[in-house]
């Protein structure tokens, strides 16, 4: 708008000057007017306008002189220029002062606003502080009153000023009297060592006296009935800003349960220490690297090392051999992270080089924060146990071998009447395997052993008749797997530990048959002996009768010949006596003579010294054994020579031997045949030992040895 106004003014001045002045004067005036306008509206170009006016006056003097109006106008321009300069100067100073004043006013307003804001902020902060203070006071009072820990405020003189709910008398807490005078209540206060607490030792009065905090003092209050309540007391003096003592604040916490727990923990610790130090088991603690932290005295005695000597040593390098170190260390790391390690056995080396077998049980130890501390190991010395187990296994194997090689069937029976084990002979005897027999009721194999059908008959019968079941041998019958019944000789014995019955069973079939055959043979032998006696004694008695008739005639006709007749009669009587009661030597001699005469075999009898037996039963069985041996040799061996030998051995021993040079007998025939069984049975009757062996180079030797016999003098 200012530019448009200046353009309009310039156009108007131009039109006016064209009517008054010529072109040259008009040019100067134009410059002067423009300068004036510039001074009024701009102020800056006034100096240029004045210069232009002067220049117009100099350039065009004639024109100016000729035209008075131009001069006036020039002066008017100069005057206007001066006025413009003064006006411009005044305007500039006014504008500058105005700007300064405006700046100061703005600065004052800004400072006023800042002061107002600060006052407002401080007011808000104060109100906030007051609200916070009231809230904190309420909160502190709530905390103060709701604390389970007793809080007591004292004056500088030790007088009770305020307490919270935990120590008020209506709470029936005896610590209210503990915290305040009169001092005679201190007679019930004690130290942790149960010595009396003196008034000057109370934490509150110590804090007031020393002006220093007193912390964590344990005080006990002894009740009249004997119980003790324990408190943990803290006291702290309170000072003003100037350092003046305002009083003291004391707090206490009921630690009765904690003390009980600590006592229980201490007792448990003492008990565990006593157990660790006295138990005959290794107790070992290793850190996470496998280093030794601790072990008990039993380990010291067992290994020969003291804890001081090898503390923090590597367990695996110190106690284990090279082959076990790697495997044991691997198991150690697995056990640290919870893998079960129970009943693992390895060998450790003691200080003196002895090797011990240890059975280990382990558990990882952790702190309360869950951090792994190490591994706790309990070890049991099983060296002797391992040896005993090995010996037991050897004994069991030996016993099993003995049982399996025994010719008699052996069955173990539990107190529930069920079979627990059988040997090989029992399997063969009954025709069933051990698996089939074990678990069966014994009545399935020996039905006549237990007539009662109730359970645990053997155990109950043993309690009533302890001597009727065990320790004796009896005849009974048994049943095989195929159902066949056969006679047995049964011997039942009780084993106290473990509670078992042992049944020894022998097949009596052969014995029964042998007994029958022996009875038949004995009957036949008795018949034959009777017949022989009848024939021999009858003949001798007939001869003796004739001799008596002859003696009667001799006494009448020739008395001198009567003596000869009497002598013949005496010899006849002696022969009858020998036939009626013949000795073993004579009988064997007669056996040899009859064998030689009847079979045309060189049969001899040898007896280096006289043998006279007082036991006719022994003599009879020995004679019959010799007779059977000679009979078998004649019948089966086709010998050329048979020798019968009878001789004493030691003081009370006797040996009968029958040998031949025949073809001998097959190995299988030595254990079979009726005659051989009869000889063995006769030997067993008199307690003799009978052996049948092959002779070198050919033939057989039958030997019967007997000990503990009585000889006639």
Summarize pLDDT for 399-428 with one digit per residue, the tens: 778 777 788 888 888 878 888 888 888 888
Share of the chain above pLDDT 70, in %: 68
Residue that has been written with the tokens 């097949």 in this structure:
507
CB atoms within 10 A of CB 230: 20
> What does the alpha-carbon distance between residue 611 and residue 588 come to, in Å, rounded to a whole number?
11
Q: Which pLDDT belongs to residue 291?
A: 92
CB atoms within 10 A of CB 357: 17
| Nearest residue to 605 via CA among 571, 629, 576 | 629
Residue that has been written with the tokens 């005896």 in this structure:
174
Burial (Cβ within 10 Å: 0-12, 13-18, ≥19) of residue 93? exposed
| Region of poorest pLDDT, from 296-305, 629-638, 656-665, 671-680 | 671-680
| Region of poorest pLDDT, from 166-180, 226-240, 683-697 | 166-180
Mean pLDDT computed over 137-141:
72
Q: Tally the C-alpha atoms within 13 A of residue 294's C-alpha that lie toward its C-beta.
A: 10
Helix (H) or strand (E) holding 217: strand 214-222
| Nearest residue to 179 via CA among 214, 206, 210, 203 | 203
At 303-323, the pLDDT tens digits run 898 989 999 999 988 898 777
pLDDT of 67 > 80? The answer is no
Nearby residues of 487 by Cβ (< 8 Å), 6 or more positions away: 475, 476, 477, 507, 508, 509, 512
Question: To the nearest 10°, the Cα dihedral for 74, 76, 78, 79?
Answer: 170
Greatest mean pLDDT range, 21-35, 157-171, 443-457, 459-473: 157-171
Asked if residues 669 and 699 have their Cβ atoms less than 8 Å apart, the reply is no
Strands 214-222 and 342-349: unpaired
Tell me which of 528 and 683 has the higher pLDDT: 683
* pTM, 2 dp: 0.40
pLDDT of 376 > 70? The answer is yes
Nearby residues of 405 by Cβ (< 8 Å), 6 or more positions away: 424
Which residue(s) pair with 476 in the sheet? 488
> What does the alpha-carbon distance between residue 49 and residue 88 come to, in Å, rounded to a whole number?
14
CB atoms within 10 A of CB 595: 22
Helix (H) or strand (E) holding 47: helix 46-59
At 479-522, the pLDDT tens digits run 888 888 888 888 877 777 777 788 888 888 877 776 666 656 65
> What does the alpha-carbon distance between residue 463 and residue 470 come to, in Å, rounded to a whole number?
12
Q: Tally the C-alpha atoms within 13 A of residue 480's C-alpha that lie toward its C-beta.
A: 13
Asked if residues 286 and 311 have their Cβ atoms less than 8 Å apart, the reply is no
Q: Which pLDDT belongs to residue 501?
A: 81
> What does the alpha-carbon distance between residue 46 and residue 89 come to, in Å, rounded to a whole number?
11
| Region of poorest pLDDT, from 1-15, 264-278, 652-666 | 1-15
Asked if residues 318 and 310 have their Cβ atoms less than 8 Å apart, the reply is yes
Tell me which of 121 and 532 has the higher pLDDT: 121
Q: In the β-sheet with 282-287, what is the strand arrangement from edge to edge?
A: 292-295, 282-287, 372-381, 355-366, 342-349
The distance between the two most distant Cα atoms of the chain, rounded to a whole number of Å, is: 261
Q: Which pLDDT belongs to residue 325?
A: 84
For the record, the structure tokens of 21 come out as: 């002045």
Tell me which of 580 and 112 has the higher pLDDT: 112
For the record, the structure tokens of 456 come out as: 């645990």
Alpha helices by DSSP H, listed for 414-508, are 424-430, 434-437, 457-464, 466-469
> What does the alpha-carbon distance between residue 32 and residue 74 come to, in Å, rounded to a whole number?
7
For the record, the structure tokens of 220 come out as: 């006990």
Q: Which pLDDT belongs to residue 4?
A: 45
Q: What are the DSSP E strand ranges found in 55-188?
A: 150-154, 160-163
Q: Which of the 8 DSSP states describes residue 392?
A: H
> What is the distance between the terminal CA atoms of the chain, rounded to a whole angstrom?
187
What separation in angstroms does the CA of 28 have from each of 73, 406, 545? 9, 167, 230
pLDDT of 599 > 70? The answer is yes
What separation in angstroms does the CA of 178 have from each of 33, 188, 236? 110, 9, 17
pLDDT of 246 > 90? The answer is no
Tell me which of 241 and 597 has the higher pLDDT: 597
For the record, the structure tokens of 327 come out as: 């495997």
pLDDT band at 660 (very low <50, low <70, confident <90, very high): very high
Asked if residues 700 and 659 have their Cβ atoms less than 8 Å apart, the reply is yes
Q: Which pLDDT belongs to residue 245?
A: 87
Provide Rg for the chain, Cα atoms.
72
């Amino acid at each position: 708008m200012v530019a448009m106004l200046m353009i309009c003014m310039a156009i108007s001045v131009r039109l006016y000057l064209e009517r008054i002045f010529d072109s040259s004067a008009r040019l100067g005036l134009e410059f002067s007017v423009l300068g004036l306008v510039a001074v009024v509206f701009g102020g800056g170009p006034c100096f240029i306008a004045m210069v232009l006016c002067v220049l117009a006056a100099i350039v065009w003097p004639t024109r100016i002189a000729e035209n008075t109006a131009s001069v006036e106008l020039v002066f008017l321009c100069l005057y206007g220029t001066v006025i413009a300069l003064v006006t411009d100067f005044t305007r500039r100073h006014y504008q500058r002062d105005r700007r300064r004043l405006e700046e100061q006013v703005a600065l004052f307003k800004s400072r006023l606003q800042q002061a107002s804001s600060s006052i407002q902020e401080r007011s808000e902060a104060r109100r906030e502080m007051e609200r916070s203070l009231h809230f904190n006071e309420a909160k502190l009072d709530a905390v103060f009153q709701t604390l389970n820990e007793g809080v007591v405020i004292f004056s500088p003189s030790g007088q009770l000023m305020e307490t919270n709910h935990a120590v008020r008398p209506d709470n029936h807490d005896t610590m209210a009297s503990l915290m305040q005078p009169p001092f005679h209540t201190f007679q019930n206060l004690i130290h942790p060592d149960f010595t009396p607490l003196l008034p000057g030792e109370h934490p509150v009065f110590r804090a007031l006296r020393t002006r220093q905090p007193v912390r964590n003092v344990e005080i006990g209050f002894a009740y009249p009935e004997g119980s003790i309540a324990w408190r943990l007391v803290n006291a702290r003096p309170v000072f003003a800003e100037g350092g003046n003592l305002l009083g003291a604040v004391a707090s206490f916490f009921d630690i009765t349960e904690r003390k009980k727990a600590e006592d229980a923990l201490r007792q448990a610790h003492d008990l565990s220490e006593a157990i660790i130090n006295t138990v005959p088991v290794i107790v070992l603690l290793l850190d996470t690297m496998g280093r030794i932290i601790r072990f008990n005295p039993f380990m010291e005695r067992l290994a020969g090392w003291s804890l001081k000597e090898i503390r923090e040593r590597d367990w695996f390098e110190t106690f284990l051999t090279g082959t076990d170190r790697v495997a044991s260390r691997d198991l150690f790391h697995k056990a640290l992270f919870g893998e079960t390690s129970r009943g693992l056995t390895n060998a450790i080396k003691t200080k003196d080089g002895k090797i011990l077998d240890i059975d280990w049980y382990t558990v990882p130890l952790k702190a309360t924060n869950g951090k792994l501390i190490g591994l706790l190991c309990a070890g049991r010395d099983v060296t002797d146990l391992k040896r005993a187990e090995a010996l037991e296994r050897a004994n069991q194997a030996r016993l099993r071998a003995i049982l399996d090689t025994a010719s008699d069937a052996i069955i173990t029976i539990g107190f529930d009447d069920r079979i627990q084990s059988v040997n090989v002979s029992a399997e063969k005897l009954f025709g069933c395997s051990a698996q089939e027999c074990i678990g069966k009721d014994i009545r399935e194999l020996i039905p006549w052993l237990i007539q009662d059908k109730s359970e645990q008959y053997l155990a109950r019968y043993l309690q009533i008749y302890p001597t009727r079941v065990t320790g004796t041998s009896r005849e009974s019958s048994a049943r095989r797997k195929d159902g066949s019944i056969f006679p047995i000789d049964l011997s039942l014995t009780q084993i106290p530990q473990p509670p078992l019955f042992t049944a020894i069973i022998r097949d009596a079939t052969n014995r029964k048959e042998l007994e029958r055959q022996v009875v038949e043979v004995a009957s036949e032998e008795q018949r034959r002996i009777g017949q022989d006696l009848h024939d021999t004694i009858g003949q001798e008695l007939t001869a003796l009768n004739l001799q008596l008739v002859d003696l009667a005639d001799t006494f009448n006709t020739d008395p001198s010949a009567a003596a000869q007749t009497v002598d013949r009669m005496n010899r006849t009587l002696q022969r009858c006596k020998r036939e009626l009661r013949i000795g073993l030597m004579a009988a064997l001699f007669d056996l040899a003579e009859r064998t030689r005469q009847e079979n045309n075999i060189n049969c001899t009898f040898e007896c280096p010294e006289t043998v006279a037996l007082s036991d006719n039963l022994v003599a009879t069985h020995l004679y019959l054994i010799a007779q059977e041996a000679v009979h078998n040799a004649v019948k089966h061996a086709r010998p050329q020579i048979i020798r019968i030998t009878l001789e004493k051995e030691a003081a009370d021993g006797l040996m009968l031997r029958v040998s031949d040079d025949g073809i001998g007998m097959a190995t299988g025939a030595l254990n079979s045949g009726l005659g051989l069984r009869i000889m063995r049975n006769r030997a067993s009757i008199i307690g003799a030992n009978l052996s049948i062996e092959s002779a070198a180079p050919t033939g057989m030797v039958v030997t019967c040895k007997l000990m503990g016999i009585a000889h006639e003098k």
